[in-house]
Amino acid sequence: METVRELTQLIFAFKQQIPKLDTAINKLQIATIDDHTLHRLIFMPTSSARKIGQFAENYQKAQTLLEKTQRETARNRAYSEFLNSESNDVEYERTAWHSFIIESKLILFNHLRHEYSETAEYLVLEADLHLARLSNTPDIKLSQIFQTDLFRPTQLPKDTIDSFPEGPQRLSGDELDGRAPYEWVNSNGLPFSDRSPYPLPEVGYATKTQNLKTLPEATQLLIDLMLHRSFYNENKQADIIFCGRIFEIVIASLVRDLEPHDLNNIIARPPYYSLHDIVGDEVNDAESDLVEASIDKEYDSITVALTKSINDWRTKEKISTNILSSWLTFNVLNRYFRQAWQFNKPNSVPAKENITHLINVARRAFRSLWNAFASVEKGEVFGMPNIIANVSIGDGEAFENSDLYRQNISPFLHSSGNKSFGAATHSYTAALSSHPIKQFIEDIYQTFISSPEYKAEHSEKPFYESDGRLITNIIKKYFEIQGRIEQKIPTLKATGHDITRIVTNAEKANISRLSVLENKHIKEIMKINGIKVQ
C-alpha cells in the first residue's frame, strides 16, 4: 500500500470481515496479537497458538546455554511444559473458521485483480483458492492440482517472475541445453536463470532399468512411479528416473483423499516438474485417461492398499483440519527440486539396469521432500530459531544421524507421554514421519536387499562390478599408486576432499557416485581414514 487512498480502499473491501475477525479473536481470548499469532491461528489449535509464545521463550533460553547437556535438558523441559500445561481455551469451529479464511482470501484476490494481477501475491491467492476448491469439490480431478499459474512458471510474464523474492538457483539454466529436442529448450522462452525464483525442471537419470513382471507387485508399482520414457539428449530417448511423482502424491495427500485411479493417472502423465512436463508435449485429461486405461495394472491390489493407507493416515493425522498453503508448497517445491539435481544427477549415457539404484533414489526423494517441509516450517512461527542444515541428502543408511534429520526434522518429532509437539501444532513435518509412501518405499528396499538374487549378486562380486576396474584405475591414478592397490590402501592417507575428487573424476567417465561409494576399495579407504559419507 503506497498511499492512504489505497489503504482506505482495502479497509473498505474488508468492512464486513474486520468486525468478524475482531469478534472471533475476542471470543478466543487471545491476549497478545502479532503477525506470528495470526499466522499460527490459521492452522494451529487455539491452545497451541496461545502457549507457543512461552515455548519459544524457553527454547531460545535453552539455546544460549554453554553445555550441550544443559541445552538438551532445557529444550526437553520447554517441550514438556508446552505439551503438559493445562489449557481451557475456547476453540473455534474449524469449518466456520476455514470459510472465513477462504472468504477473506477471495475478497483480497478480487481486490488485487485489476492493478496487481501480475504479482506473486496475486498468484499465491489464486493458488490458495484453487487448492481449497480441489479439497472441497470431489468432482474436480485431482490431476488438476498444479493447474494454476503459481506452479506453471513458463506461463508467467517476466514482470511477474521479477515480483517474487529472488531464488538461490545455483544453476544457470545452461544445464538444460542438449537434454531434449532443441525446440523444447530454446523455443519456449524458459524463465530459468541464476536469479529465477523457480528451480530448474528435473532432467532425470537415464537408465536401462525396466519394470519386470517377475518382481514383487509393490516393486513394480514403485518402478512405474519413478520411471518415464523421455529424451536424455537432443534426439535419443530412454527410461529416465524422475522424482516428481513422489512429490505429486505427497502434495495430493495433503489436499484430499486419494482413489486408486489417482495413482494410475499420475503414472500415466509425465512426472510433475520434469522437463517433459514443463515444456514437452502437453497431455490433456482425456489423453491421460486413455493412457491410464491402457496400463497393464499388475499391481491393482497394491494400489488399492496404498491409497487406503494414505487416506487412513490423513484421518489419523487430521490432515483435513487444515487447508494446504500454496506458498508453503511453492517453497517446498523449490527446495525439493533443487536437491533432486544433486541426488538424481543427469547422465550422458543411459546407465545399466540397476533396480537398487532406482529404489535408493526413491528413498532419497522422500527424505529430501521430508527435509524440505522441515526447512520451510522451522522458524519463529513454531517457536524455534531460524537455523537449518543445508547439507546434501547423502546416500548413507543412517539418515537419522544426519544434520538434516537432527537439526531440521527431529525438533518437530519431540513427544512427552502420549502427546507430541508435531500433532499439537499441526506440523506437516511431523505428519510426514508416518506417511505411507515413506513406509512403502522402505518396505520395498528391505524386501529387495533381503532377496536371494540381491544377496547372491552382492556377496560374490562388488557393487557395480563392471565399473570396478575403472574405479580402481581412477583411484590408483589419483593417489599415484603403482602395483597392487590392496597393498597400498592400509597406509594410504585420505580425506573427504579426496573422495569427492575421485567421485568427480568417475562421473566424468559416466560412473555414478553410488558406484564409487559402494566400491570395496573406496569403502576400505574411508573406513581406515574415518571418512563418513556426506
Is position 44 within any domain?
A: no
* Cα 81 from Cα 76, distance rounded (Å): 9
275 and 369 fall within a common domain: yes
Is position 414 within any domain?
A: yes
* The three cell numbers locating residue 141: 480431478
Instruction: Check residue 290 and give its pLDDT.
Output: 47
Ordered DSSP codes for 374-435: HHHH-SGGGT--S--------S-S-GGGSHIIIIIIGGGS-EETTEEHHHHHT-HHHHHTT-
* Cα 250 from Cα 230, distance rounded (Å): 23
**If pLDDT is split at 50, 70 and 90, which confidence band does 10 have?**
very high
495 and 396 fall within a common domain: no
Is position 26 within any domain?
A: no
- Average pLDDT of the residues in 152-177: 81
399 and 523 fall within a common domain: no
In the listed set 423, 448, 473, which residue is the last one of a domain according to the structure? 448
351 and 428 fall within a common domain: yes
261 and 184 fall within a common domain: yes
* Cα 192 from Cα 171, distance rounded (Å): 9
pLDDT digits (tens, 9 = 90+) for 96-109: 888 999 999 999 99
Is position 199 within any domain?
A: yes
Strand 415-416 to 237-241 pairing: unpaired
pLDDT digits (tens, 9 = 90+) for 394-428: 765 678 888 899 999 999 999 988 899 999 999 99
What CA dihedral angle connects 24, 27, 28 and 32, to 10 degrees? 90
Is position 300 within any domain?
A: yes
Instruction: Check residue 221 and give its pLDDT.
Output: 95
Instruction: Check residue 286 and give its pLDDT.
Output: 45
Mean pLDDT of the residues in the chain: 87
Percent of the chain with pLDDT over 70: 90
pLDDT digits (tens, 9 = 90+) for 119-147: 999 999 999 999 999 999 989 999 999 99
**If pLDDT is split at 50, 70 and 90, which confidence band does 534 have?**
low
Instruction: Check residue 88 and give its pLDDT.
Output: 62
321 and 405 fall within a common domain: yes
- Average pLDDT of the residues in 250-277: 95
In the listed set 426, 448, 470, which residue is the last one of a domain according to the structure? 448
CB atoms within 10 A of CB 488: 17
Instruction: Check residue 427 and give its pLDDT.
Output: 97
Sheet with strand 227-231: strands edge to edge: 205-207, 237-241, 227-231
413 and 271 fall within a common domain: yes
Percent of the chain with pLDDT over 90: 51
- Average pLDDT of the residues in 162-180: 79
* Cα 269 from Cα 287, distance rounded (Å): 9
345 and 421 fall within a common domain: yes
Ranked by mean pLDDT, the top range of 130-139, 190-199, 500-509 is 130-139
Instruction: Check residue 29 and give its pLDDT.
Output: 77
- Average pLDDT of the residues in 290-307: 73
Structural domain boundaries enclosing 188: 175-448
Q: Please count the structural domains in the chain.
A: 2
353 and 465 fall within a common domain: no
Instruction: Check residue 15 and give its pLDDT.
Output: 95
State yes or no: pLDDT of 163 exceeds 90: no
**If pLDDT is split at 50, 70 and 90, which confidence band does 325 have?**
very high
- Average pLDDT of the residues in 35-49: 89
Is position 107 within any domain?
A: no
In the listed set 397, 419, 448, which residue is the last one of a domain according to the structure? 448
pLDDT digits (tens, 9 = 90+) for 464-487: 344 677 888 899 888 888 877 888
406 and 466 fall within a common domain: no
Q: In sequence order, what are the residues at sequence separation of 6 or more whose Cβ sits closer than 8 angstroms to the Cβ of residue 188?
A: 154, 279
481 and 502 fall within a common domain: yes
* Cα 61 from Cα 64, distance rounded (Å): 5
